[in-house]
Amino acid sequence: MTASRRLPIACAALFLAGAGLVGLLVGPVSLGALPILRSALSHLPLLHVHSPLSGPDDAILWQLRAPRVVLGALVGGMLALAGASYQGVFRNPLADPYLLGIAAGAGLGATLAIVYAPDVVHSYDLTPLAAFAGGAVGVVAAYALGRSAGGRSTASLILAGVTVTSFLTAVQTFVQQQHSQSLQEVYSWILGHLDTAGWHDDALVAPYILVSAVVILFHRRVLDVLSVGDEEAATLGVNVRRTRLVVVAAATVGTAGAVAISGLIGFVGIIVPHAIRLVLGPSYRLILPLSFLGGAGFLVLTDVIARSVMAPAELPIGVVTMFFGAPFFGIVLRTSRSFA
């Protein structure tokens, strides 16, 4: 890795570390940066460092704030990385992680679980599993519809995703209208949340996200080749169909896992990759790793805003990302002609 690539990645890693520290510091209970650092060192083996935090403060740090920061970093990194990979694979600057019906399927799955199995949901936390299954069904349906239409182009797959999304959204709306007593709980999930994060959630989603991220990052050079066009990439020895399928599958699995835990958090996959592209250019060898690190830091800071702006109440994190993302999406839409 050249120095020109090491420096941006180092800066992104520092940004993520700084965002994580802010996430640990901000809250109704003041802990302080040095006590947090000493408490972290006290949990490392072979280091005989005494934690300066009291029992309740230590619990606040490690049972409430730390798992929330970790989950925000995992989800934000995955959404940004998936958005960047979708934009590269489909050569479309407006592609986002929810392109192929993941959001609509996950939303429908969560809605069905909340409405028809409320006791099971509250007892066994069924919502993430139902959301993951719904997202997977949505993607499989979009892919099958795109193939059955006789087209293997990216346009056919995108149109199939739009069709499936519209249908699943209609079904979800119908179910919600028939069970209006569950609307608040459904919308609370749909608008995104990290407030119930625990280490169990982190452990549940981490394998999906980390494996997906490794697969996508392994293909970062190939995405640079795909950016010149399918025919040109094929002449250079790239198996375009296989590469597209692998990258889309990895991005989809990672996104479905993230959405199953956090709900639907929009615009991260648009904001972060495009901000990096505007500053550092179109090379996916930089865009992909920086999107993961930048997306992680971005969502951690967004969560800090969500739990601070109306304290002691919290805004749904999806509302905050939409507040920043909608104007940014407009800018991307106006400049999308220059995307190559």
* Residue 65: DSSP 8-state: I
Of the ranges 35-44, 75-84, 106-115, 171-180, which is most confident? 75-84
Percentage of residues in the chain with pLDDT exceeding 90?
A: 34
Q: What is the pLDDT of residue 119?
A: 73
Confidence of residue 3 (pLDDT cuts 50, 70, 90): low
270 compared with 43, residue with greater pLDDT: 270
List pLDDT tens digits, range 57-109: 888 899 989 999 999 999 999 999 999 999 988 888 778 888 888 989 999 99
List pLDDT tens digits, range 241-254: 888 889 989 999 99
Q: What is the pLDDT of residue 218?
A: 94
Q: What is the pLDDT of residue 74?
A: 96
pTM above 0.75, yes or no: yes
Q: What is the mean pLDDT of residues 136-161?
A: 80
List pLDDT tens digits, range 236-292: 888 888 888 899 899 999 999 999 889 889 889 989 999 998 888 889 999 999 999
**Residues 18, 34: Cα–Cα separation, whole Å:** 14
Q: What is the pLDDT of residue 147?
A: 77
Rounded to the nearest 10 degrees, what angle do helices 154-178 and 102-116 cross at?
20
Q: Is the pLDDT of residue 340 over 60?
A: no
Q: What angle do CA 10, 79, 286 make, to 5 degrees?
A: 35
**Residues 223, 286: Cα–Cα separation, whole Å:** 11
Average pLDDT over the chain reads: 86
Q: Are 261 and 204 in contact (CB under 8 A)?
A: yes
User: Please, what are the domains in the chain?
Assistant: 55-195+209-333 (1.10.3470.10)
Q: Is the pLDDT of residue 339 over 50?
A: no
Q: Is the pLDDT of residue 331 over 50?
A: yes
Token pair for 77: 């990194």
Rounded to the nearest 10 degrees, what angle do helices 127-148 and 154-178 cross at?
140
Q: Is the pLDDT of residue 152 over 60?
A: no
What is the C-alpha R_g of the chain?
Answer: 21
